[in-house]
Every structure is written in structure tokens, then in C-alpha cells.
Amino acid sequence: MSDNDGKKTLGLGGSRPSNVKQSFSHGRTKNVVVETKRKRVVVPKPGAAKPTGGAGPIIGGDPSKRPAGISDVELERRMKALAMAKAREAEEQAKREAEEKERAAEREARRAEIEAKEAEDREREERAKAKAEEEERKRAAEAKAKAKASAPAAAPDAASVPGETAVSRPTSAPRKTDRDDQSRDKGGKAKPGRGDSDGRRSGKLTLNDAMAGREGGRQRSMAAMKRKQDRARAKAMGGSVEREKVFREVALPEAITVSELAIRMSERVADVVKALMTNGIMATQNQTIDADTAELIIEEFGHTVVRVSDADVEDVITKIEDDPKDLKPRPPIITIMGHVDHGKTSLLDAIRNAKVVAGEAGGITQHIGAYQVTTDSGAVLSFLDTPGHAAFTSMRSRGAQVTDIVVLVVAADDAVMPQTIEAINHAKAAKVPMIVAINKIDKPSANPDKVRTDLLQHEVIVEKMSGDVQDVEVSAMTGQGLDALLEAIALQAEILELKANPDRLAEGAVIEAQLDVGRGPVATVLIQNGTLRQGDIFVVGEQYGKVRALINDKGERVTEAGPAVPVEVLGLNGTPEAGDVLNVVETDAQAREIAEYREKAAKEKRAAAGAATTLEQLMANAKQNENVSELPVVVKADVQGSAEAIVQAMEKIGNEEVRVRVLHSGVGAITETDIGLAEASGAPVFGFNVRANASARNTANQKGVEIRYYSVIYDLVDDVKKAASGLLSAEIREKFIGYASIKEVFKVSNVGKVAGCIVTEGVARRSAGVRLLRDNVVIHEGTLKTLKRFKDEVAEVQSGQECGMAFENYDDIRPGDVIEIFEREEVERNL
């Protein structure tokens, strides 16, 4: 006890202290105060069996359970005792209940009393207030002063808590100083030489101990102290985690990675992996597990599961209906549809009043976009410049109903043709009103009335036939009737009463998207509601971004675009697809989350669709029509317009034996996803002015998927046509012999720009053809002017070696570009 003399020990309340003497080597001893906490007396809950009766039911209830060696008399006695105990218990229970009731009544009464008192107080206060108001200002001021005076009076009440701490402080403070003095004493004389070892053994480094240690002579190094402190801290922290484990509500999506699950539970990843392993699931931290598995783990850790749907992330896109008073009139959006060669492009061009380069042979329009015109009467009309029906339907299937009015072009010298009927059906399906433009009225062979009667058969009754569909005779060539057509559209728009709210976050539809060499991904968006501004954060399909710049249909930069205005949007992270809906959201994180969710969902959908194509559809087709086989293809192009044009052309190909089916078409480099899809259906992949990225190329080689590159639509279509009609003979085809990547670009006088390259694959050959690729998009095709290795002109450079290359008549080369080296050879066709 000598150690503890005058020293208070930290103790458990209500404990019985006792001393234990510990002896150490070298004759040292130490007294330790051991406290034994008295066991808490558990008051049996009302209704719970008494300890004495505890064994009763077992004995009495079932003779088979009766302990051996108990006589009947004994049993009877026990039963009696049990009955008595029960009776006593019931009595006690009743008594307890009565007491409880009494207490409750008392509590109730007290509460009522307090409430009454409070109400009285309040009333008094109110009365006082009213009085104060009644009296003059002066007296009010007096009352205030009184109130002020009463405030400190209330203080002692409130101070009761700090008072407690103030009381407890003196008890703890002297204790500290006591020990301080003692340790100093000890360090000084009582126990010479023990100051240090004491401190080391105490397991706790306090400031006092440290001080004592220093006084004691030997000084502990800073590092040692720090280590000790760290250890103590780690120990304390480790302990507290276990003691104060927080049980959380864990939001669980349909699938989750192991690491994300660990984060959401605030558990260590290693523990989660271990838990999975004990459940027989081997998963690394980056692996995704399904919700059911995750739920099991979450429950194992003691947390609660809150299942959330992934789709919830889309909820941030406000779907609030606009207040009718916020709505303002907006221009109509018009799509021109009709049979090939009936003059859609010509009409659009005529309306735009600008000469566009004469369309490609066969009427395939390579460019799509949109533009606005103003009629003579001042109405603004937005025209969609889409190549036929594929865009219209693909947009509709993606949920973007962009068109308000369809202008159905029918050539007066022709008649209603298959695609005219298709257009009518599309317009009807979309419930979009139609206006019939009877084109080529300038032609001598024009017979507009034949067109009108033909249309009757397809339930299109024009005004001239006493119907309600407006019809206008026009000539895209001479411009005749164009104004009448525009006025007819304006009139139709008026009837539709098109409105939108420009004062909300923008929503729009992508009508065209491409990977621009200089500007990155660019999307032409038609705003449908709200106003899109520079700097807005948006999600569009599976992509997201922040509006870096807006460019209108005249090529001018604008800062905002309102309803029905088409604009080019710059600042996307990737190329969206036509028909994708653009939504402005509040934060970058939201945009990214939505885009990622959509990408995942689309991937799953594509996988499912791929399977359906190969198994179900192909089988069904084979069964249905034994003679017709399908030629599935995957198409990737540099711009949406080309992709659409190719798809349209492909769909037209086919005879009695073969039909072409486009499994997927898109914009940008050929990726592994494309290869996967092609492989699943045994389809070739067509790249139009785009290339496969490295991983896609490897996968294609491994899986035997054919990738064919084209730069002329008609070559592509022609090849497919020939393949379809079984005319696959030997052909001249390109073979890639090498790739080189440009490291640096030098300017050399008399030569021009020279690319310092490294051959990354195959060989570079002077005589071969070359293409310049930027972001896997072909930007130039030609021949080499020079191929140099260390200043010498060489015929060939092998993979891994550096060389200098210059193009014949082409100078726009940049570091990072890739040069593709190819040769033409005769090969057997095997589409």
C-alpha cells in the first residue's frame, strides 16, 4: 500500500478494492490494486420463472424427463412447492402491476401538473407581454430591463451542468499534481534508478512520465517516444473500432465490386474478401459480385441491406412537367421523307438556299444535320437533314421523338413507291402530321393528280381530294412552290401549338455525332426543351461532358441554344449516337454516374441481343425459309451520316438466297465489343474510314473475325452485294504489312515535313501504300516520298526500328499519328 499512500486510484464505482503484491526479479516488488466489481443483481422480469421454479416444469411436465431417483411423494411435494411458487408469483405479479399502475397514475398526474404549470406560466407571460405592449415604450423598456435581470436569474439553473464539471475538476486536479509530486519524489530518492523502467513498463506514456523520465537521468530518444505513442494510439484505435462498431445501412445496387462493397460497409477489403472466401466465393477486390452474394456478406458483417436499383441514378434527370404558364411557342421540327430519288436532298438544299455539293451517285446522302430557316411571313422552321428513314426510326427507337411534322416527298413523274409507303407508316406510327410535297412539278411528265389518287390507297387523303392532309406542288429544281410549302408547314405548326419552356435545364436529341479530328467528339443536338448554355454539365446517352462550345447551323459560335435550335456541342467525353437524348444535370458526378450506368446496361443488352441473333433469330429464319440465308455484318464508320448511309444501302441488298443483316452500326474505331458481337454471329466487321484499335485487332486475330476496311461507300456496298450473290471470286485486296507511330515531326527544307517514326508492327516498305490515321480515323491515303534510316534511303524498315517518313503531297502530320502501311494483293474472297 506504500505505493498508493495518499494517491487515489482510478476505480470502478461500487467496487471492492484489494491489493496484490507482485514480485519481480532483483527483489523488486510492486503493489497492484485489484478491484473486483460487484456483480449486478438482476431483478427478474415480471413473468419470468423464478429460479426455484426453474426446474419445475421439466420435472412435472413430462415423466420421461423426470430425474431418476425421485419418488412420487417427493415429486408431489415438489409439484406443490411449484404450485405455491406459482401462486406467489401471480400474487407478486398482481402487486407489481398495481404498483406500476399507481406509479403511472402518479407520473400522469405529475405531468399534468407540470403541463398545467407550464400553461399557467405561458399564460402569465403572455399576459405580461400584452400588458407591456399596452403600456408606453418607456415601460416596455423597463420590462425589458426586468427580463434582462431575470435572464441571469435563470443562469444558475443552466449552470448546473458546468457546475458539475467544476466540482469534479478539483478532485482530478490534485490527483494529478499529487502523482506528479510523488513521481518526482520517487525519481529523486524513494526508488533510485527506477524512474525509467517504470515509465517503460507502465504501457502508457504520459506527459508526466516523460517528464519524470527526463529528470531521472537517462533520456529516451524522440523516436522511441514517438514509436511508443504511435503504438498506444494504434492500440487505442484498434480497441475502439471493436467496441464501437457502427452498423450501417448499406445501399446495394444490382451488382457491386468487392472494394466498393467494403467502402460502403466501412470494412477492410481484406476482411470482405475473406468473408467471401469462407462462403466459397473467390473474388478479388476489383471483381463484381451480384446483389444476392453481397447481401449475404453485408448481413454477415451485421449491417442492414438497402437494395437500390441502378436505374435510380437516372432520377436526377428532372422529369417535372412544365407549368403551362412557363411555356412559350417554339419552332416546329420538320423531317423530309420519301422514296429514293424523289428529291429529298434537292428539296432540303433548295430550302436552305445554298448549293450543297451534288449528292453522291444513287442518292446516298453522306451528311446529316439540321438547319433553321425563316419564312417570308416570319415563321422559324427547323429542318432535320436526315438520310431517309433509318435515322427517323432509330431515333424513335431510342426514345427521341424529334419530329413535329413530316414532309412526304413524292415525285410527280413517278408515283407512290415502297419507301413512300414506308414513310407514311413511319409518320403514322409516330403520330406526326404529314404534308405532301409533290416534287418535280417542272417535269413535262409530271402527273400530280396520279400521286394524289395513289395516296388515297394508303389512307392519305390530301386537301385537293377533300381530305385534311395539305398538299403542295413544288419543284426543287426551279424553286416553284417552295414558299407555298413553307407556309403550309408554318400553318400546320400553328395548328399544333408547339410550346416549350426555355427557362429550365436543357433537354435535346442527338441528330448526328462524329469524332472530329481536331475538335474531338462533336454532336449535333436539337434542343427540345429548356436552354443549353456554355458550361452546362450534361449526360447524353452513354456519354457525358461539359459544354465547351456551341456552334449553330451557320457555323457561328453561340453561347446558348433554346428550344428547336440545332447546335453542334463540343466538350463530350465520347461519341454518342444519333437519337441519344441529352440532359443537363447539376453535377459532374451525376453525369458520370448516369453515363456509366447506361454504358453497363447497354453492354448487357447488346450481349443479350447478340445471343438472340445467333440462336433464336438465325434458327427461326433457317426454319422459316430454308433457302434464305442471312449475311450478318457489323459496321463502324467515321461519321454517323456514313454509318446510316451504309446501313441503308446494306438493307437494300438481298435476293432470294441471301439477306444482309446489320447487327450493329456505329461511329468511331472498331473496338473489342464490336469484335465480340461479330464473333458471336459469325459476322465480318466493316470499317469505313476507321480502324480497329490494338486490342480489337488482337482479339479479331485470335477469334478469326474478319475486319475489312473501306474508304469508299460503293466499294463496301459492292463487296457485300457480290458476297450476297455468291460472286466471290479472286480480288485485289489490301493487306496490312505494318504500322508505324509518329514520335516527332521535323521540317526539312526541300522535302517538307518529315515524320520521325518507330515501326510498331510488321515492316515499313517504301513501295507500299500508306495511310495516316489519327484516333483510328483515316485522314489521308497516299504514297511515301521517302523512307529513311539514319539519313540513308532504304527500301524496308523492320518492326522496332526508328525511321523517317514523308508523304507525297501531304504535310499535315502530327506526333501521335499512326501510319498504316499496306500492299495490294490478290486473294480469294471469303466473306
Ligand-binding site membership of 425 (annotated): no
Please identify which residue in the block is written with the cell numbers 443552466: 158
Measured CA to CA, the distance from residue 170 to residue 766 in angstroms comes to 95
First CA to last CA across the chain, in angstroms?
A: 99
Nearest to 691 by CA among 707, 676, 703: 707
Q: How many CB atoms lie within 10 A of CB 813?
A: 22
Smallest distance from the beta carbon of 690 to ligand GDP, in angstroms? 25
Binding mask 732-771 for ligand GDP (x = CB under 6 A): ----------------------------------------
Segment lying near ligand GDP (by CB under 6 A), choices 165-173, 336-344, 459-467, 584-592: 336-344
Taking CB under 6 A as the rule, does residue 317 contact ligand GDP?
no
Q: Which is nearer to ligand GDP, 295 or 360 (CB)?
A: 360
Q: How far is CA 438 from CA 52, 107, 373, 455, 478, in A?
A: 105, 92, 21, 11, 13
Measured CA to CA, the distance from residue 48 to residue 58 in angstroms comes to 15
Strand 304-307 relative to strand 470-473: parallel, antiparallel, unpaired?
A: unpaired
Taking CB under 6 A as the rule, does residue 303 contact ligand GDP?
no
Smallest distance from the beta carbon of 445 to ligand GDP, in angstroms? 10
Burial 30-47 (b: 16+ CB within 10 A, else e): eeebeeeeeeeeeeeeee
Ligand-binding site membership of 339 (annotated): yes
DSSP letter at 654 equals B
CB 410 within 8 A of CB 451: yes
State residue 291 phi and psi, 5-degree precision. -65, -35
Smallest distance from the beta carbon of 359 to ligand GDP, in angstroms? 4
Segment lying near ligand GDP (by CB under 6 A), choices 120-128, 218-226, 313-321, 335-343: 335-343
Of positions 53, 253, 363, 762, contacts ligand GDP by CB under 6 A: 363
Segment lying near ligand GDP (by CB under 6 A), choices 1-9, 340-348, 447-455, 776-784: 340-348
Nearest to 332 by CA among 401, 260, 387: 401
Q: How far is CA 819 from CA 631, 734, 757, in A?
A: 32, 15, 9
Smallest distance from the beta carbon of 409 to ligand GDP, in angstroms? 6
Of positions 3, 442, 483, 672, contacts ligand GDP by CB under 6 A: 442
Ligand-binding site membership of 495 (annotated): no
Q: Which is nearer to ligand GDP, 643 or 797 (CB)?
A: 643
Binding mask 445-484 for ligand GDP (x = CB under 6 A): ------------------------------xxx-------
Smallest distance from the beta carbon of 406 to ligand GDP, in angstroms? 14
Q: Which is nearer to ligand GDP, 26 or 355 (CB)?
A: 355
Q: Which is nearer to ligand GDP, 565 or 578 (CB)?
A: 578
Of positions 341, 596, 781, 802, contacts ligand GDP by CB under 6 A: 341
Of positions 426, 440, 452, 788, contacts ligand GDP by CB under 6 A: 440
Taking CB under 6 A as the rule, does residue 342 contact ligand GDP?
yes
Measured CA to CA, the distance from residue 158 to residue 444 in angstroms comes to 103
Nearest to 785 by CA among 809, 749, 757: 809
Measured CA to CA, the distance from residue 414 to residue 241 in angstroms comes to 83
Partner residues linked to 558 by β-bridges: 550
Segment lying near ligand GDP (by CB under 6 A), choices 188-196, 435-443, 627-635, 701-709: 435-443
Segment lying near ligand GDP (by CB under 6 A), choices 124-132, 277-285, 343-351, 535-543: 343-351
Taking CB under 6 A as the rule, does residue 345 contact ligand GDP?
yes
Q: Which is nearer to ligand GDP, 476 or 525 (CB)?
A: 476
Q: Which residues contact 319 (CB under 8 A, 6 or more apart)?
A: none
Binding mask 380-419 for ligand GDP (x = CB under 6 A): ----------------------------------------
Ligand-binding site membership of 469 (annotated): no
Smallest distance from the beta carbon of 447 to ligand GDP, in angstroms? 14
Q: Which is nearer to ligand GDP, 408 or 764 (CB)?
A: 408
Q: Which is nearer to ligand GDP, 246 or 361 (CB)?
A: 361
Segment lying near ligand GDP (by CB under 6 A), choices 1-9, 436-444, 629-637, 823-831: 436-444
Ligand-binding site membership of 813 (annotated): no
Q: How many CB atoms lie within 10 A of CB 470?
A: 22
Measured CA to CA, the distance from residue 776 to residue 232 in angstroms comes to 58
Size of the site for ligand GDP (CB under 6 A): 17
Q: Which is nearer to ligand GDP, 350 or 594 (CB)?
A: 350
Of positions 60, 359, 762, 769, contacts ligand GDP by CB under 6 A: 359
Q: Which is nearer to ligand GDP, 183 or 439 (CB)?
A: 439
Smallest distance from the beta carbon of 662 to ligand GDP, in angstroms? 20
Three-class secondary structure of residue 412 per DSSP: coil
Segment lying near ligand GDP (by CB under 6 A), choices 72-80, 281-289, 437-445, 735-743: 437-445
Smallest distance from the beta carbon of 818 to ligand GDP, in angstroms? 36
Q: Which is nearer to ligand GDP, 346 or 776 (CB)?
A: 346
CB 563 within 8 A of CB 529: yes
Q: How far is CA 686 from CA 43, 62, 576, 634, 711, in A?
A: 83, 84, 19, 6, 10
Strand 380-385 relative to strand 255-257: parallel, antiparallel, unpaired?
A: unpaired
Measured CA to CA, the distance from residue 803 to residue 754 in angstroms comes to 10
Of positions 439, 590, 648, 689, contacts ligand GDP by CB under 6 A: 439
Measured CA to CA, the distance from residue 479 to residue 771 in angstroms comes to 43
The torsion of the CA quartet 75, 80, 86, 89, rounded to 10 degrees, works out to -120
CB 42 within 8 A of CB 49: no
CB 529 within 8 A of CB 518: no
Q: How many CB atoms lie within 10 A of CB 577?
A: 23
Taking CB under 6 A as the rule, does residue 654 contact ligand GDP?
no
Q: Which is nearer to ligand GDP, 342 or 771 (CB)?
A: 342
Of positions 443, 464, 753, 785, contacts ligand GDP by CB under 6 A: 443
Ligand-binding site membership of 298 (annotated): no
Ligand-binding site membership of 664 (annotated): no
Ligand-binding site membership of 344 (annotated): yes
CB 312 within 8 A of CB 257: no
Measured CA to CA, the distance from residue 406 to residue 419 in angstroms comes to 14
The secondary element (H helix, E strand) that includes residue 686 is strand 685-688
The secondary element (H helix, E strand) that includes residue 258 is helix 258-265
Smallest distance from the beta carbon of 480 to ligand GDP, in angstroms? 8
Binding mask 477-516 for ligand GDP (x = CB under 6 A): x---------------------------------------
Partner residues linked to 789 by β-bridges: 792
Please identify which residue in the block is written with the cell numbers 404450485: 83
Question: Which residue spans within 258-343 are E strands per DSSP?
Answer: 288-290, 304-307, 328-329, 333-338
Q: Binding site membership: which residues?
A: 338-345, 385-389, 439-442
Q: Binding site membership for GTP: which residues?
A: 338-345, 385-389, 439-442
Binding residues (CB under 6 A) for ligand GDP: these are 338, 340-346, 359, 363, 439-440, 442-443, 475-477
